Amino acid sequence: MNEDEVYCVKCNVRLVALKTTFTYLKHEFYVDLPRCPSCGQVYVSEELAKGKMTEVEMSLEDK
Ligand SMILES: [Zn+2]
């Protein structure tokens, strides 16, 4: 799926990638997630979330 072509179902506007903070394993991370510029709804697919979690776990293991 192309993240650039995700639309908000409420506003029907294209989501834009914005830096979003999330916390995982007591660590804070900044990731670019597709977010609606109108209502602020963040779109995270299960696939994307898994990919981000894998990235985070790998970065933690490097430390
Ligand atoms: Zn919206």
Ligand 1 centre distance from Cα of residue 8 (Å): 5
Is 3-62 a CATH 3.10.20 domain? yes
pLDDT tens by residue, 8-58: 889 999 988 888 787 878 888 888 888 899 998 887 777 777 887 788 788
- Checking 5-10 for CB contacts under 8 A at 24+ apart, the result is 6/34, 6/43, 8/36, 8/38, 8/39, 8/41, 8/43, 10/36, 10/38, 10/39, 10/41
The ranges assigned to domains in the chain are 3-62
Ligand 1 centre distance from Cα of residue 59 (Å): 32
Q: What is the per-residue pLDDT for 63? A: 66
Ligand 1 centre distance from Cα of residue 1 (Å): 19
Ligand 1 centre distance from Cα of residue 52 (Å): 23
